[in-house]
Amino acid sequence: MKLFLIGYMGCGKSSLGRRLAKRLEIDFVDMDKSIEAEAEMTIPQIFATEGEVSFRKREREMITKLGSTEGDRIIATGGGAPCREGNLELINSFGSSIYLKVPPKILVERLCRHKEKRPLITGKSDEEVAEFVNRSLAERETYYNRASMVIDCAGRSDEYIVEHLYNFLKYNR
Ligand code: S3P
C-alpha cells in the first residue's frame, strides 16, 4: 500500500502522516526531506540556487521514486506536488491519495508562525500570506479535490483524524 497525503502547506501532512504510519506499523516518508537529502540542500536553498522550476522537476521525480519503491508506506507530499498537470494521476497510479482539507484561516495562522521554512511565503507580511493562501488554495483545490479521498479536518482533533483514517485503511487495504 502506498498512501500519499496531499494538501496545502501547514495542513498537517507530515505530523498526521507520521502518527498514522505508527498506528498502521508501516514506514513514513516525508517527500520534502527525501528531496533535501538527495539534493544535499534545504528546500529554501534549492529554490534560491536552482529556482522553483527545478524544484518541481525534483518533486515529480521523487513521486516516481517513492511510489515505485517496494513496501507499504505513507508519503507526505509537498503542498505543490500534486498541482502540476499529470502529477496527481501519477500519484494515484502508485496508490491512493488523501486530501487533508483545512480552512484557509487556520492555514494562515499556522503558516505565519513559520514563514522562513517555506520559500513561497518567506518575506511576506501576515496580510500578504493571507492573500496568497486564499488565492493559491482556490487554484490548487482543483487538483486536491481529485484525490482518492477528501477528509475535512476542520474542527477535528489529530487523534480523530488518525483513527478515522486508520479504520478506513484497515478495512480497505
Ligand atoms: C510547497 C510546499 C512545501 C515545500 C515547498 C513548496 C508548496 O511543503 O514543498 O516549500 O508549493 O506548497 P509543505 O506543504 O510540507 O510545507
Express each pLDDT in 68-107 by its tens digit.
999 999 999 999 999 998 999 999 999 999 999 999 999 9
What are the phi and psi torsion angles at 4 (to 5°)?
-100, 125
Band of the pLDDT at 168, cuts 50, 70, 90? confident
Q: Ligand 1, from 29, 32, 133: best to mutate by most atoms within 8 Å of Cβ?
A: 32
Cα-based distances in Å from 48 to 42, 45, 120, 137: 10, 5, 11, 23
Residue range 13-36: mean pLDDT, rounded: 97
Q: Using alpha carbons, select from 24, 16, 68, 7 the residue that is nearest to residue 172.
A: 24
Q: Ligand 1, from 120, 124, 133: best to mutate by most atoms within 8 Å of Cβ?
A: 120
Express each pLDDT in 112-158 by its tens digit.
998 999 999 999 999 999 999 999 999 999 999 999 999 999 999 99
Check residue 173 and give its pLDDT: 66
| Among protein residues, the one whose CA lies closest to atom 16 of ligand 1 | 9
Which residues have any ligand 1 atom within 6 Å of their CB?
A: 9, 13, 32, 43, 78-80, 118-120
Band of the pLDDT at 170, cuts 50, 70, 90? confident
Domains identified in the chain and CATH numbers: 2-171 (3.40.50.300)
Nearest atom of ligand 1 to the alpha carbon of 30: 15
Residues 104, 141: Cα–Cα separation, whole Å: 11
Q: Ligand 1, from 9, 38, 136, 144: best to mutate by most atoms within 8 Å of Cβ?
A: 9
| Among protein residues, the one whose CA lies closest to atom 8 of ligand 1 | 78
Band of the pLDDT at 108, cuts 50, 70, 90? very high
Distance 28 CA to ligand 1 centre (A): 17
Residues 80, 55: Cα–Cα separation, whole Å: 10
74: which strand partners? 3, 28
**What is the residue-averaged pLDDT of the chain?**
96
Residues 83, 143: Cα–Cα separation, whole Å: 6
Neighbours of 35 (CB within 10 A): 21
Cell numbers at 85, concatenated? 498537470
Cβ within 8 Å of residue 77, ≥6 positions away? 4, 5, 6, 13, 31, 59, 63, 91
Cell numbers at 132, concatenated? 496568497
153: left (phi over 0), alpha (psi -120 to 50) or beta: alpha
